[in-house]
Copies of this chain bind each other. A is one copy, B any other.
Amino acid sequence: MDAMSEARGEAHGDGDVGTLMQAIGTRARAAARRLARAPESGKNAALAAMAENLRKAAPEILARNAEDVALAREAGQNAAYLDRLSLDAARIGAIAAAVEAIAALPDPVGRVLAGFERPNGLKIERVATPLGVIGVIFESRPNVTADAGALCLKAGNAAILRAGSDSLGTAMAMAQAMRAGLAEAGLPEDAVQIVPTRDRAAVGAMLTGLQGCIDVIVPRGGKSLVARVQEEARVPVFAHLEGICHVFVHGDADLAMARAIVKNAKLRRTGVCGAAETLLVDEACAQTHLAPLVTMLLDAGCAVRGDEPTCAVDPRVTPAKDADWDTEYLDAIIAVRVVAGLDGALEHIARHSSAHTESIITQDEAAAQRFLAEVDSAIVMHNASTQFADGGEFGFGAEIGIATGRMHARGPVGVEQLTSFKYRVCGTGQTRP
């Protein structure tokens, strides 16, 4: 019984979910073994066929999506939620195009990451290989099914996708089209599997790793989902819990540049993880820079919560509470503080950053180098907006998420970070003395 036919039944008691999930894991591992040997041409053919089938299946996908949206509306979800959940022909076209863009990326598997010849003549190479099986747990956005499935496939990995309850019908219709594309290209359908039940026990099962059948979990969704995954997962997790990103305007910052970057970092889009949440202004330039920056933010419609010097700038500033320095607003709100030079900024960031992205604005190269070296975040920037914290902007083509951990992947997780490696040792009969 495959995942799709099981899905039609969809009645699973608690025990059944464990059995169902283990079967999905076992099939994923078997598919991953086959994918690891798939040539680039085969993977790209499958991605092209997936995109084509997504377009062809648009009527079926839209029908299932309409059912999902209707149920979510009945359940009282708000307009923003319903918009995230909703597909139309144009969105399906964009989803298919994104799959084709992933097909066009260079194959991350087989890259020679390092090579060296030993004095005894052994040639040793470190070569990129697929990671194996990737479990993706997401919420309402249906595009994740295609994005994540395609990214995993490009890197030779099998994907187990757990959609949010509200988008399960849509996700299954999309996955069916993608699986057909895999089959057409001669690759295992089980390279992309949707968990075909809304039972929350399925998430718990994935977090155990399904007895070694899942190598890594990627949560895509809100903070409570990520927190649960990070807390409970027994396998590695690529994720960031939050993006409390800082912009530090150093004493030697150019004011015009600072104004442009701060505005962009905070307000270009406030709901993304790379949006700035805290502005630190060096006391050395507070006299000249603080008021213009704060006024610019306020005039642009941003609420400002400030320390004492910041409150003194404008009556619209409200006093910051301790919690503000640790808050990811994801909204047009910013916390602003004057700090004692680079050291003050480094100290504040070490205490309050979520290790996602921090930027220094300065014309002082030495200060910039210290900031880049000493801030322990996945992404550190000099004279650039934190909103560039994105796989696409990094040139990765696409990303499955941004990771703030230090193991394996860090920063935007693109196809290269979805690989592992092995050592190839070529000899001519060498034995070890």
Contact yes or no, B432 A385, CB < 8 A: yes
- Given A407-B215, A422-B410, A431-B118 contact (CB < 8 Å): no
- Given A268-B432, A422-B379, A429-B261, A406-B215 contact (CB < 8 Å): yes
Bound complex: CA of A373 vs CA of B128, how far in Å? Answer: 11
Q: B-contacting residues of A (Cβ < 8 Å)?
A: 33, 36-37, 116, 118, 122, 124, 126, 129, 131-132, 215-216, 234, 236, 254, 257, 260-261, 263-265, 268, 350, 359, 368, 372-374, 376-385, 387-388, 393-395, 406-408, 410-412, 420-432
Contact yes or no, A431 B268, CB < 8 A: yes
Contact yes or no, A388 B425, CB < 8 A: yes
Q: Which residues in B have their C-beta under 8 angstroms from that of A263?
A: 431
A-B contact pairs, 26 of them (CB 8 A): A36-B374, A37-B374, A116-B395, A122-B384, A124-B394, A124-B395, A132-B406, A215-B406, A236-B407, A254-B429, A261-B431, A264-B431, A264-B432, A268-B431, A359-B425, A380-B424, A380-B425, A381-B424, A381-B425, A381-B426, A383-B428, A384-B427, A385-B430, A388-B425, A407-B408, A408-B408
- Given A37-B373, A373-B37, A407-B215, A425-B387 contact (CB < 8 Å): no
Secondary structure at chain A's binding surface: helix, strand, loop or mixed? mixed
Q: Which residues in B have their C-beta under 8 angstroms from that of A257?
A: 429
Q: Which residues in B have their C-beta under 8 angstroms from that of A428?
A: 383
Q: Which residues in B have their C-beta under 8 angstroms from that of A368?
A: 426
Bound complex: CA of A94 vs CA of B152, how far in Å? Answer: 47
Contact yes or no, A379 B423, CB < 8 A: yes
Bound complex: CA of A123 vs CA of B342, how far in Å? Answer: 22
Contact yes or no, B407 A420, CB < 8 A: yes
Q: Which residues in B have their C-beta under 8 angstroms from that of A268?
A: 431-432
Bound complex: CA of A8 vs CA of B148, how far in Å? Answer: 54
Bound complex: CA of A122 vs CA of B381, how far in Å? Answer: 10
Beyond A118-B393, A384-B426, A385-B432, 7 extra complex contacts between A and B, CB < 8 Å: A124-B394, A129-B406, A257-B429, A359-B425, A383-B427, A388-B425, A410-B421
Instruction: Quote the shortest CB–CB distance from A345 to chain B (angstroms).
Output: 15
Instruction: Quote the shortest CB–CB distance from A289 to chain B (angstroms).
Output: 15
Q: Which residues in B have their C-beta under 8 angstroms from that of A131?
A: 406-407
- Given A379-B422, A406-B420, A260-B118 contact (CB < 8 Å): no
Q: Which residues in B have their C-beta under 8 angstroms from that of A423?
A: 378-380, 394, 410-412
